[in-house]
Amino acid sequence: MRRGRRSRIDYPVPPASEITPKNLAVSRRKVLTTGATLFGGAMAAPLLRATADDWKARIQAAEKTDFKVDDDPTPRQRATSYNNFFEFGTRKEQPYMRAHRMETDPWSVTIAGEVERPGEYALEDILAPHDFEQRIYRHRCVEAWSKVIPWIGFPLGDLIERFEPTSRAKYVAFETLVDEDVMPGVARGILDWPYREALTIEEAVHPLTLLAVGMYDDVMPPQCGAPLRLVVPWKYGYKGIKSIVRIEFTEERPECLWELEQPEEYGWYGNVNPNVDHPRWDQSRERRIGELGRRETELYNGYAELVADLYPEGPDAYW
Amino acid sequence: MTTRRIWIRLYRWLALMAAVAPAVWLAWRAWAGRLGADPVETLLHTTGSVAFVLLLATLALGPVARLAGYGWLAAPRRWLGILTCLWAAGHFGVWLGLDQFFAWGFAWQEFQGRAYLWWGAGALVILLMLGVTSTDGWQRRLGPGVWTGLHRLSYVAAVAALIHIHLQTRADYLLVYVYTGGLAVLIAARLAAALGLGWRKRIS
Ligand code: HEM
């Protein structure tokens, strides 16, 4: 029924110079210090604002951007009751039923590794200088289902720039909270926690890559990764790590949890690619949550035009 | 009809209703729009799980009856067997009809290189075969020896279904362990009975 149906995405296309990682490769420091054009207004903001930032109050005021897709967003109830957050259990509804027990306020994030300003920062301070925006992205899970989500957040690149990675920073690694008191999947040790994910620095500063603090005009529900999660719309959902407590810059490629667990099923890059077959799920199609039948899956989840330059050897070499 | 027969009848109907109840529950949830965020997944998971649990329950009736020394405990075996078959067929129907939306080419493509589907299909073929031959007519036609031998394939179906479930499980294997334990006990009981070991001898 729906096969063959493709939805056009609609987004402000940044000039190629802004999205090629070559800038960074040539002279990352230069880009980082003269990055005002690349990163918008974030440079003007002080590193840390001393005042307590009421960031939750700023969520509803988030600017609606032109990042959208043709399809309607998935109804909020569906999107927030069907989640993979294995710390809370492997069934899709378990995060919805259990994640509210997670304490997300106060929250702090450790910035570590190859960076000029390491430290443990309160979430308010992390968020204070960043203006939030709404972006409607497709979300494609490696399990061959998908959603369309109106996220609220800011480009990860803006944050990275503030903390000044050194020239040795080639990768950015993330970790999720571990709390066995409220996380049954952690208490039972079903995976080698903590949840760890990583991006190349070029992927991390790509303008599409978002740190999200909310969705559907509201704060992030706990089951979706409150208070701070990663959104990388051209990658499978497992790359979009939830409830981030640590961001580390590294020279070596970090190992990721799913990659270690099942390397043949969860590639390090995790780029959405209908042509790279998967042992368990046919990746050429996907079921939009709540629909019958399947839609066609697009290369890089439909964002090929914006991200193909990140992968010079062609999509199939980065899976 | 003796009171004993009435009780057995009642027991059989109760077993049948228990095996049909999840379908009523699903139908009600479907009508009320309460099949969860992804109804297709809910239906797939529920039909598959009911089919497997019913299969184990059907296999358990014989040993339980023997162990307890009451042959009538095994009375609902045929009905439960047929319902197992229907649930498994429904599970396949949900997959083909609602998930794949009868896109035959793609459904076939999905089977390529995905072992868990082949194990499920193997189990389903056996269950369908046993369902069709479950009637008195077939029992007579095949003769007791062939028929019993054929219906021992239900254990093969159970193992195949278990592999089907195991292969698609990620991270949390608790349920797989429980299923495996249950099936292992049933197979051990069957082997013990076949070898004429232990309690079976004393009872029979
Ligand atoms: C051709 C036959 C079959 C097909 C195509 C099939 C297909 C599927 C699919 C697609 C799933 C969901 C996989 C996922 O969520 O990733 C599934 C789950 C399941 N199947 Fe089957 N299946 C078949 C036969 C069977 C049979 C005969 C049984 C049991 C007697 C069975 C028991 C199950 C169970 C229990 C699950 C749920 C596992 C879980 O969600 O934890 N399947 N099957």
The model's pLDDT over B51-98, given as tens digits with 9 standing for 90+, comes to 999 999 999 999 999 888 888 999 999 999 999 999 999 999 999 999
SS3 A270: coil
- The pLDDT of residue B1 is 62
Q: Does residue B50 line the site of ligand 1, with CB under 6 A?
A: no
Interatomic CA distance for residues A159 and A164, integer angstroms: 9
Q: Does residue B142 line the site of ligand 1, with CB under 6 A?
A: no
Q: Is B105 on the interface with A (CB under 8 A)?
A: no
Instruction: Enumerate long-range contacts of B77-81, CB under 8 Å, 24 or more apart.
Output: B78/B134, B79/B12, B79/B15, B79/B16, B79/B19, B80/B15, B80/B16, B80/B19, B80/B54, B81/B130, B81/B131, B81/B134, B81/B154
Domain boundaries, chain A: 16-318
- The pLDDT of residue A282 is 84
A222 and A81 in contact (C-beta within 8 Å)? Answer: no
Residue B187 Cα, gap to closest chain A Cα (Å): 28
Q: Is B37 on the interface with A (CB under 8 A)?
A: yes
Q: Is B101 on the interface with A (CB under 8 A)?
A: yes
Q: Do B172 and A82 touch (CB under 8 A)?
A: no
- The pLDDT of residue B198 is 55
Check residue A102 and report its DSSP letter.
S
- Residue in this structure with the two tokens 């079976």, named with its chain if needed: B200
Q: Which fold is adopted by the domain A16-318?
A: Sulfite Oxidase; Chain A, domain 2 (3.90.420)
Which is nearest to A147 in space by CA: A135, A136, A132, A134?
A136
Q: Is A89 on the interface with B (CB under 8 A)?
A: yes
Q: Do A293 and B36 touch (CB under 8 A)?
A: no
Tokens linked to B192: 């013990």
What is the 3-class SS of chain B, one letter each residue?
CCHHHHHHHHHHHHHHHHHHHHHHHHHHHHHCCCCCCCHHHHHHHHHHHHHHHHHHHHHHHHHHHHHHCCHHHHCCHHHHHHHHHHHHHHHHHHHHHHHCCCCHHHHHHHHCCCHHHHHHHHHHHHHHHHHHCCCHHHHHHHHHHHHHHHHCHHHHHHHHHHHHHHHCCCCCCHHHHHHHHHHHHHHHHHHHHHCCCCHHHHHC
Query: A15-24, B12-21, B112-121: which has the minimum mean pLDDT?
Result: A15-24
Ligand 1 centre distance from Cα of residue A235 (Å): 27
Q: Whole-prediction pTM value?
A: 0.83
Interatomic CA distance for residues A114 and B116, integer angstroms: 44
SS3 A37: helix
Interatomic CA distance for residues A207 and A200, integer angstroms: 14
- The pLDDT of residue A27 is 36
pLDDT in tens, B21-64: 999 999 999 999 889 888 999 999 999 999 999 999 999 999 99
Q: Which amino acid is at A233?
A: P
- The pLDDT of residue B172 is 87
Average pLDDT for residues B102-112, to the nearest whole number? Answer: 86
Task: Count the Cβ atoms, other than its own, within 10 Å of residue B141.
Answer: 11
The CA-atom distances, in angstroms, between A62 and each of A58, A131, A283, B139 are 7, 7, 34, 71
Please choose from B38, B40, B42, B44 the residue to mutate so as to test ligand 1's pocket, defined by most ligand atoms within 8 A of CB: B44
Provide the ipTM: 0.78
A227 and A213 in contact (C-beta within 8 Å)? Answer: yes
Tokens linked to A103: 């304490």
- Residue in this structure with the two tokens 């080639």, named with its chain if needed: A170
Average pLDDT for residues B155-181, to the nearest whole number? Answer: 95
Q: Is B108 on the interface with A (CB under 8 A)?
A: no
Ligand 1 centre distance from Cα of residue B164 (Å): 7
- The pLDDT of residue B4 is 87
- The pLDDT of residue A319 is 87
By alpha-carbon position, which residue is closest to atom 1 of ligand 1? B121
| Bridge partners, residue A16, by sequence | none
Q: Is B171 on the interface with A (CB under 8 A)?
A: yes
Q: Does residue B100 line the site of ligand 1, with CB under 6 A?
A: no
Interatomic CA distance for residues B21 and A11, integer angstroms: 50
Q: Judging by beta carbons within 10 Å of its beta carbon (0-12, 13-18, 19+), is residue A276 exposed, middle or buried?
A: middle
If you measure CA to CA, which chain B residue comes closest to A3? B103
pLDDT digits (tens), chain A, 319 positions: 333 334 444 455 444 444 434 334 333 333 333 333 344 444 444 455 545 678 999 998 899 998 999 899 999 999 999 999 999 999 999 999 999 999 999 999 999 999 999 999 999 999 999 999 999 999 999 999 999 999 999 999 999 999 999 999 999 999 999 999 999 999 989 999 999 999 999 999 999 999 999 999 999 999 999 999 999 999 999 999 999 999 999 999 999 999 999 888 899 999 999 998 888 888 999 999 988 889 999 999 999 999 999 999 989 989 8
Ligand 1 centre distance from Cα of residue B60 (Å): 21
Using an 8 Å CB-CB cutoff, list chain A residues near B165.
none
- Residue in this structure with the two tokens 């497709």, named with its chain if needed: A138
Size of interface A-B (CB pairs under 8 A): 73
Ligand 1 centre distance from Cα of residue B130 (Å): 19
Using an 8 Å CB-CB cutoff, list chain A residues near B106.
3, 282, 284-285, 294
pLDDT in tens, A16-49: 444 434 334 333 333 333 333 344 444 444 455 5
